[in-house]
Amino acid sequence: MSHPSSTEPVDLVVRGGTVVNADWQGAADVLVGGGKVLGVVEPGAYRTVQAAATAELDASGRLVLPGGVDPHCHVGFTSGDFTSLDDYLQATTAAVFGGTTTIVDFAIPRPGENPADVAAAQRAKAAQGLCDSALHGCVVEWDDTVPEQLRSLASDGIVTVKMFTTYRGETMADEKTILNVMTTLRDLGGMVVIHCEADHIIADTQERGEAAGSIGASHHAGTRPELAENASVAEILAIAESVSAPVYFVHQSTPEAVDLVARARGRGVRAFTETVAHHLVLDDSAYTGPHPERFVCCPPLRDAGTVAGLRSRLLMGQVATIGSDHCCYDTAQKESVSHDVRAMPNGLPGVETRMPVIFSELVVKGGLPVGRFVELMCANPARLNGLYPRKGIIAPGSDADLVIWDPTATRTVRSAGLHMATDYTPYEGMPVTGWPETVVVGGRPVVEAGRLTDGEPRGRHLRSGPLSRSLVC
């Protein structure tokens, strides 16, 4: 418990709830002023500290969580012939309705574009958001200009850089480029964030699928096998270990990939696993349904046994973060090329459903401690993006991003009741228990009782700090 200085004006008190951080939980009131958390105090104690607050929020019978930090969002993302349908206002509106108050987007260059220029253009969009955002940069090909571009990105607070081992001819980087970027970022206090699927294995599998007439959406799972992910993870870990550089693996979907990272960590490699909600909750039976194209993502949804193995690794503590990998395409975009997964827009909408679905499936049904939920959804994403303790914790000095969470609320997920800029959700019809009731962003209640009460964009681009002190998850 902490007490504010008597000279600090309190604008808002969130009272009567159970505050949950990754490392502590208990009954407490949260004092807010100037957009920051001023104190976490014994219930009712604030009345002896501050005679009256401008406003109070009653959290009785509820959990008070740090605002979610989604480490993996694609907003207005162009890949191939398709661009996802949301802008920053739409994406962050959906985020706050789902309890997420910080998103980390990607500045991914198209062929011929300069990574630093793309990041600058994307960074400028942050002001359109209802909540704050940070950025991952991206490098595709190494040349003599890249070191200076990486230094420029770091000076702008962008210290994580996305790289791909697939999508040849668009965003795929070769092994030497990956090694060079890892080495440069290591010295800048940054880290490579990497999508691992061995492109040569995928290309061969897809060629055979085409010859067999099995290249449409219903066959997607077979076109990007688990082996491709596992082989690529092993190779990237070897590169990282050879240059003593940290590495963060996005959307790991197989138990074997997670095990490879865990074993590397045991050898002292600073390696981290991210999983995403749909790989923990959905399986490849979705490709046998009436709309298989809606579930095309990379890596694909895996079989039920693999999903169970992935969950077990998470419960064993081998997963650092859970993201959404939010890509807001709609059914029409996906249906237009559903006959060939090589041309389809890959990705699922999920920034709004990430926290409720994981709370329901893993906390309520799976026995995951709620403190560990906060660690996976809030604290660790903030740490691994250089945003902690500004984000991801309720503590004096942190941003007053708070979620009053009703752990017993029951809802059925329906696309019509969500706020993402698409016509579907992959969780359509799923019953969930636990839902954000009130969401505070920077000390301002933005969502109250499930209604948007402050829709004024005040988003900020967050400058990430050097990661050397954060890589302890």
Domain borders along the chain are: 12-65+395-408+426-452, 67-383
Q: What is the pLDDT of residues 125-179, one digit of tens each?
A: 999 999 999 999 999 999 999 999 999 999 999 999 999 999 999 999 999 999 9
Q: What angle do CA 420, 425, 430 make, to 5 degrees?
A: 125
Side chain identity at residue 330, one-letter code: D
Q: How many Å apart are CA 122 and CA 132, to the nearest integer?
A: 13
Q: How many Å apart are CA 174 and CA 167, to the nearest integer?
A: 11
Question: Which pLDDT does position 49 carry in this prediction?
Answer: 57
Q: pLDDT tier at 8 (50, 70, 90 boundaries)?
A: confident
| Cβ burial 42-67 (10 Å sphere, 16+ → b, else e) | eeeebeebbeebeeebebeebbbbbb
In 178-217 the beta strands, taken as DSSP E runs, fall at 191-195
Tokens of 250: 């996005």
Q: What is the pLDDT of residues 380-413, one digit of tens each?
A: 999 999 999 999 999 999 999 999 999 999 999 9
Q: How many Å apart are CA 88 and CA 389, to the nearest integer?
A: 24
Question: Which pLDDT does position 469 carry in this prediction?
Answer: 57
For the residues 84-96, what does the mean pLDDT come to? Answer: 98
Over 60: is that where the pLDDT of 430 sits? Answer: yes
Whether residue 299 is preceded by a cis peptide bond, meaning omega within 30 degrees of 0, is yes
Q: What is the pLDDT of residues 271-302, one digit of tens each?
A: 999 999 999 999 999 999 999 999 999 999 99
Q: pLDDT tier at 472 (50, 70, 90 boundaries)?
A: low
Just give the CATH number of 12-65+395-408+426-452. Answer: 2.30.40.10
* Closest listed residue to residue 399, CA positions, set 352, 358, 457, 440: 440
Just give the CATH number of 67-383. Answer: 3.20.20.140
Q: How many Å apart are CA 368 and CA 371, to the nearest integer?
A: 8
The SS3 assignment for 169 reads coil
CB 400 within 8 A of CB 8: no
Q: pLDDT tier at 6 (50, 70, 90 boundaries)?
A: very low
The helices-and-strands tally (H runs, E runs) of the chain is 15, 21
Q: What is the dihedral of CA 373, 374, 375, 376, to 10 degrees?
A: 50
Q: pLDDT tier at 79 (50, 70, 90 boundaries)?
A: confident
Residue with tokens 């959990």: 63
Q: Residue 384's CB: how many other CB atoms inside 10 A?
A: 28
In 333-430 the beta strands, taken as DSSP E runs, fall at 402-412
Sequence-distant (≥ 6) Cβ neighbours of residue 112 within 8 angstroms: none
In DSSP terms, which residues pair with 321 in a beta bridge?
A: 274
Instruction: State the chain's mean pLDDT as an integer.
Output: 95
Q: Beta 444-448 vs 100-106: how paired, if at all?
A: unpaired
Task: Give the global pTM.
Answer: 0.97
Q: How many Å apart are CA 269 and CA 271, to the nearest integer?
A: 6
